[in-house]
Amino acid sequence: MTIYDSVLIALAEHTACESDLCDSQPAFRAIPSASDPEAAFAIELYQMATQIYLVRASQSPWEPPANLDALVEAAFAGPVQSCTCEHFFPLLILACEAQRDEQRIGIINLIERTQRDVRIRSIQAVKNTIQSIWVQQDLHKDDDVLVDYLGTLSSAISSSNTVPSFA
């Protein structure tokens, strides 16, 4: 087997894996929603964020980003507009997907709603991480360079003096 064959096999496996992740949306939807509307929104937000993260994290930094526009738009049209975010992982992942001003405003509004909820711990470290990610994205916006998703997350998270909790 040549190196060329190995690369082709790896590419085929990656494409199949990405296809499986994109096709898994109906399986995620099968999880029964809670009777509490706030909990149902939180579950939906977590499902969408997890699917986005799995696709983004599994793609090669040398290929163009996967097209998740429909899923991202659904997240910003639904849960982001109306809920608080008790768990910060979905907030971080959706903030990474916020490319337009109205999407970023939606994330900022979600952060503000979450901060007003006295049951939820401080969100300041996550807010700082999100701002750092947005700065990184804005720096590369006009470049023709493919930005490494995990590298951007890693550098933004590690730039803080404390590691934010995303649980």
23 or 116: which leads in pLDDT: 116
Mean pLDDT of the chain: 74
155 or 130: which leads in pLDDT: 130
Quote the pLDDT of residue 104: 92
Burial 44-58 (b: 16+ CB within 10 A, else e): bbbbbbbbbbbbbee
Quote the pLDDT of residue 39: 74
Tens of pLDDT, residues 82-107 = 667 777 888 899 999 898 899 999 88
40 or 54: which leads in pLDDT: 54
- pTM of this prediction? 0.70
Considering only 125-129, 156-160, 163-167, which range has the smallest mean pLDDT? 163-167
Helices (H), ranges, 2-148: 3-23, 25-29, 37-58, 69-77, 79-82, 88-97, 101-116, 124-140
Mean pLDDT of 32-50: 74
